[in-house]
Structure 1
């Protein structure tokens, strides 16, 4: 069973996603963030400290089909946080060292969507309940720079594809989860 939890920044989506796996005897938590600066290091340290000690944690954003597999224990829920960060990581990995102003965003989106399709297939084959957390990025103003506009569009289409594949979708606003699918 695949569940997608979406919402804005600081909407309570992480807490809501955690409540969805709270009854599982075990949880595999997949953290997709990378440390690039002291602020992110502090955020990651805070998240690590706040997770229950009995949760198993994998910190990765690629080759997810290696840990979301048909061999997973059905009693261990999988919680992946977050798709938006995963999308960012993929975009910059595929874009390489070149200037984002020069990127071929259509080609990059194709590569990102291939990774998302592989994730969806891995989730479908996994006997564990899987909960994916993502940010709803399309409810604000249109960003003024090219990279941000393309990122918003790609992340929005990634979210649409995941919502289509999901069995359940939750929108979290001000700490309140509303089931929309």
Structure 2
């Protein structure tokens, strides 16, 4: 059964670079599961930064949708998978909807996507390091899409954390394994 490691933190906290170092340290054959879509120059710049940090021998799988399929495929030939990132994946799913008015449907969509990711990891033998943003620490957003995204990202983080052996919170480039600090009721 595969292992799940979750790495969370705020924007520009150092979570992706920590996840990359983690994957490089513990993996022998590494696959990068990329969820972003390059739709503008700013995103092209961000993707370029990530690509420039990755070793040339890492295999990349583009997975803006149906990421669980990329995880299954990559797990067949790799021992370490770096999934970057869950919140961009959730954004892709929400922005792919005709409308976001049905919160129950949106919740079910995100839950199904997370359950599929977890099942794909558990079906293989690879370790998946999933990067995600901690988006709930700010003010309540003014518009519906932003609130739905914040709420569903928090849900997705909880769903993956529930199955993760290790959960790291990265702040100012410093990772802390919060699973070790977890208070158990």
With the length of structure 2 as denominator, give the TM-score of the two structures: 0.88
Partner Cα distance (1:75, 1:147) in 2? 36
Say whether 1:50 aligns with 2:53.
yes
**Shift, 1:146, TM fit:** 1.4
**Shift, 1:75, TM fit:** 5.6
Equivalent residue for 1:34? 37
1:53-72 equivalent positions in 2, closer than 5 A: 53-69=56-72, 72=75
Question: Unmatched 5+ residue regions in structure 2?
Answer: 180-185
**Shift, 1:49, TM fit:** 2.3
Question: Unmatched 5+ residue regions in structure 1?
Answer: none
State the Cα deviation string for residues 94-142 of structure 1 (Å, max 9, x = none).
x22x4x5xx2122122112111101111011120111000000001111
Equivalent residue for 2:108? 110
1:25-174 equivalent positions in 2, closer than 5 A: 25-69=28-72, 72=75, 76-93=79-96, 95-96=97-98, 98=99, 100=100, 103-174=101-172
Please give the secondary structure, in 2, of the residue aligned with 1:47. helix
Equivalent residue for 2:183? none
Partner Cα distance (1:26, 1:70) in 2? 14
Native 8 Å contact 1:74 1:129 kept in 2: no
What's the Cα RMSD here?
1.7
Aligned residues: 176
Native 8 Å contact 1:64 1:119 kept in 2: yes
Partner Cα distance (2:24, 2:74) in 1? 22
Native 8 Å contact 1:4 1:131 kept in 2: yes
